[in-house]
Each structure stands twice: as C-alpha cells, then as structure tokens.
Amino acid sequence: MKEEWVKYGTKLKLREIKELLDHLPRSSSVAIISVDQLQKELFTDSGAGTLVRRGYKLFRSSSIQDIGAERLRAMLREHDDDVRENRKSASQIFSELSQTPYTVYGDEGLGCVAFVSHPPDEVPVLTRLVMTRDAAMNHVIDNIWGMIRKDYRRLVWTSRADDENRAWHFEHADGSFTRNRRSLYYYGIQDVGEVERTMRQLEEKGRIERAYLPLNMRRVPSGTARGFCTYTHASTKLPQQGRESYTLGRRTYATTAEPKRVALIGARGYTGRSLVQLINAHPNLALSHVSSRELAGLPLDGYTKEQVYYANIGPEDLKKLESGRSSVAPPDAYIMALPNGVCRPFVDAVREGGKGKAQGHGVIVDLSADHRFDDAWTYGLPGAFATASQLYSREAIQQSKLISNPGCYATNTQMLLAPLLPYLDATRPPTVMGVSGYSGAGTKSSGKPSTPGERPVTLPKLDPETLHGAVRPYALTDHIHEREARYHLTKLANGTPVNVAFTPIVAPWFQGIISTASVPLSTKLTAREIKQLFEEKYQGEKLVEILPHVPEITDIALKHGFKAGGFQVHSSGERVVIVGVIDNLLKGAATQCMQNLNLALGLDEFAGIPMD
C-alpha cells in the first residue's frame, strides 16, 4: 500500500478486497478481469487477469516449543510420510533435530514446515520439508524457500525419487543424485570437488542417511573430476575420455546445473503459449529461441527465466544454427509448432545442419500432422500402448530424434479404443463424436498494428460470439485425426484393419475435448469387465485417471492428463459407450510434447508437468 502507484481508486479497491478476503475462507480469491475474457480467465490464475489472494504470514524460529510442539506433532502425523507410515515418530524427528543448531521455517497455519540443521562451519541440511496440498498450490512453499535461500548460500536436502513434488526439487537444485529410488539435491556448491568433499563430510558425521549418498559408485581412476548425473535401472559401464568412469545405470533422466536448450518455432498460437508456460516452470529446460514472423523483435511474454525476444527464423537460419555456424550454440531440441504443411523445410534444415556432427542433429518434436504417417518418425504417445506393442513405448521415444506429436482428437480417440482392440467387431466400426473448445480451431492475427512497436493481438478463428452460443459440426468425414487414429490403431492391432467413424464438433467453451465412443463388441462384456480392461491397461500411468462417473469438461480443462468414465453397456451386451476427456492445448498438444521432449533428452518424463 506504500507503493507510489497505489493511490485514489486503486487504494480503495485494494482495501475493499482485503476486507472481503479477511472474512472469507483462506482458499478464496478475487479476480480482476476483462468482461469479454470472463469465460477464459475466471477459472485460472495463469491468465491475463489479476488474481488477489489473502497472504500467509511466515515465521522462522530456533525453538520447537515456541512454535508449539503439539501443533507441529499433529501436522507431521497428518502430512509427513515417515510419521504416517510409522518409520519415525514426531518425537524422534524433534530429538534428531535438537542434536545440532537448527531453524524451523513455516507459515502461521502450518501448511508448510521446513527444518534446517546448521552446525557452525558445516553445510546446512534441510532435514525435513512437509507441506499440505493447499500450501503447494498457493505457493506458500515458494515464499518459505525464498527465506531459506536468503539465510543459506549453500544447502543439501533429500527426498524419495517417487516424491510427487520431485519436479519442484529439481527446479530448485543446482544438481542432484538418484540412487536406489532416493534422491539428494543441493544448491550453491558449484565445484565438483567441493561437492564430493561435502558428501563425504555428510556421511562421516551421519547428517545424511547413507542410502541417499552416491559414494558407493565403483571408481575407475583417471586423475580427473567426477561428473554427476542421475541414473537408474540396469548397470552399464560408461567410459568417458579424459574423465573418471563409473558403473552406473541405464539413463532415464539426467540432472545438471546447465538446462537443456530448446528452440520453439512457431510460438504465437495457444499451444505455443502453453509450451512457454511449461518450459518456464521446467527445472531442466530453457528457451534459447522463439520464432514468430509477426512478433519478431518483441519480448516474449510469460517467460521469466531470462529475457527472450521473438525472431523471424527461417529454414536457412535453422540450418546455420544447427551446424554451429551461428553466433550462439545450437539448441538441444526443436519444437515445431507450425501449421500443417509448413513444417518440412524447417525439419530438413535442421537435419541438413546436423550432418557431419558426431551426435547428429538435435531432437525434433513436430506438433503438426506432417509426419504422423511417416514410419521414419516415432509416434509420441508415451506409455499408452507399451503393453500392446513396442511401437510407441517410452524406450522408442528415448532413442529417437524425430518425434511426431499426436493430434488432440486422435489422442483421445486412441486412448478410448486401445484397451478394447482385441474385442472390436470388425464388421461394425466404432463411432466417436468429439466436442472441442474453440481454441482447437486455431488463431489468427489482428493484423499489423497502427502504432509502431505495438504488439499484434492473437485472436481465435472462432469464438462464442461467432458460434452464437451453440455447437458446430465440421469436417464430417475424413477428418485427418480420423485417419490418424485408424492408421495407428491398425498398426497396434498387428495389421488387422481398425476403422473408426469420427465427427468433430466445435463448442463455445475455450479449451477441453470431450469424446463419446460407441463401440460394437465381438464378445459380450459387462461394464465391470470393460472398466477393468481400462484399469489394467493404464495401471501406473500418472496422467491417466479412470473415473467412476461420466467425465465432464470441468474435470479436464487446464489439467494435463486423460480421464475416462461412463462404461455403459447396451442391454444386448454387444456395444459399449465410453466417454473420455483431455485438454486439447495440454495433453492434446503441449503436455504431450513435454513428455516426448523429456524422454528424448534423457530427463524425467514428467518434469515440468504439474500433477493434477
């Protein structure tokens, strides 16, 4: 309120908003948005509107008693995995913490608590970080982390490798180790020799459980420093010229202080914006180039890691960049977010520029339909068909540099039909009706601004006003996603033709697809048996959820996965109807691209992707 710009009407509005939030539940918020953007902006805190939430008072204390031992004990019993699973008691945690000087950080409601042990002249260790879901969603943890970063220029902490917040840990660390499903993270320790000394000191003094330390790797002397990466699975020896060698696991994802660099070609549309948001939150990726002919020279909005400007990058520019003849290093990967039929010269340029390079060209993920029917490219639907065929397994994506991102409708259709492939009636093809928000129709530019330096406005090709609040079927036959689903389902059925009748419909909401599949069966099945097929097919898939009810758009808009439900069988037992939902801009485009990119670059598949 003391800022110079807070005065007159603005000050009055802020006072009224504060008074309102003081009397509402903590989870309440006030949105200040444009009326014509109401439908798009009201339900998200990442849009163009202004969102005001009630703040959280934070504290730091060197005494558990001052905070309230019983309050802390109750919080740990409910939210700490070790305490809930009886591996440790709250009293044990307090006793271990009291062995050295310590500080407890948290918020007044104890939604998030962090314990830091900091003996004199030793590296501080974050011994425990516990948070509620609300605290994570309301960024309380980020505010507490800001306090910790100010207090300690170096820090070490640990978590289990399957921690649901592992992306947060990677994002805030300079480096990490993973071994035996345990991960250790650190920041502020840049020299590898110092890292190794620190780890040995932590082991000798018993400040970190040995299971978390990477000191049991078999060493092959060569007189130089160790490189630190994250590896798991079967043992493989990886010799490196001029460096030490270790017996490590086959790569699943690597963690280094240097992020992988990504060039986004075609960044003006809705999918481009979603990709920028995901990369901005990604712990191991950074944007090196963004290309848009109409926005060239303007700064990229929504990206906070560094200042990036749009450029008009053509095929020849890409060839020069990838070959190393540019003034900057080539990116590690290229995302082609271009319209159908436009991508090929850009892809050819990258491939040509990479000729003669020892590692070949960078990874290319094509979001258009140009390569979805090209068997030289890997079709990137990770995990969905691994049990039915190795064609689209994660291993295939990890080993590929040419990845075709599936279409949004085609993704939803294939996810709905894949578990039923052995039971389809070849004489009666399934019928799928897909209804998508109008963002799926794409964007158009408002044209050249009248004022020099003004940013062109991106507009939807269709909007609720154009649709008059109704739905509009289009491309009633032979939609490209119909052909795409048919082509890949046939390959997954070992060449047995799988026909699909598909009709797309555009609706007056902004984003999200709901598809209804009516599937004739060759064998009578019950609803329970069909639901079980889906549960077995997608068991362990983090971005798939099988619902007990018919899913709706509200279940999936702004979410990153696929959800299916309904499972109603006709009285004859020979036809089932299933409903599936995805967000066309996320799992139907940007999120799926991020999964493919992570796998191809050797990163954690779900890094940078919020787990809904």
SS3 letters for 390-454? CCCCHHHHHCCCEEECCCHHHHHHHHHHHHHHHHECCCCCCEEEEEEEHHHHCEEECCCCCCCCC
**Pair 135, 112: CB distance under 8 Å:** yes
Question: In terms of DSSP H, where are the helices of 441-587?
Answer: 464-467, 480-492, 527-537
Question: Rounded CA gap, 262 and 284, in Å?
Answer: 10
Query: How far is the CA of 220 from the CAs of 161, 210, 223, 227, 243, in angstroms?
Result: 27, 21, 9, 13, 9
Go through the chain and tell me how many residues it has. 612
Q: Is 593 a catalytic residue?
A: no
What is the three-class DSSP state of 608?
coil
Tokens coding 162 = 């399957």
Strand-strand pairing, 513-520 and 431-437: antiparallel
Question: Rounded CA gap, 185 and 593, in Å?
Answer: 27
Question: Rounded CA gap, 576 and 517, in Å?
Answer: 8
Residue 181, classified by CB atoms within 10 Å of its CB into exposed (0-12), middle (13-18) or buried (19+), is exposed
What is the three-class DSSP state of 597?
helix
**Pair 292, 312: CB distance under 8 Å:** yes
Tokens coding 30 = 């006030």
| Residue at 486: amino acid letter | R
Catalytic entry in 229, 343, 408, 593: 408
Tokens coding 406 = 């599936």
Question: Rounded CA gap, 540 and 529, in Å?
Answer: 19
Active-site amino acid positions: 408
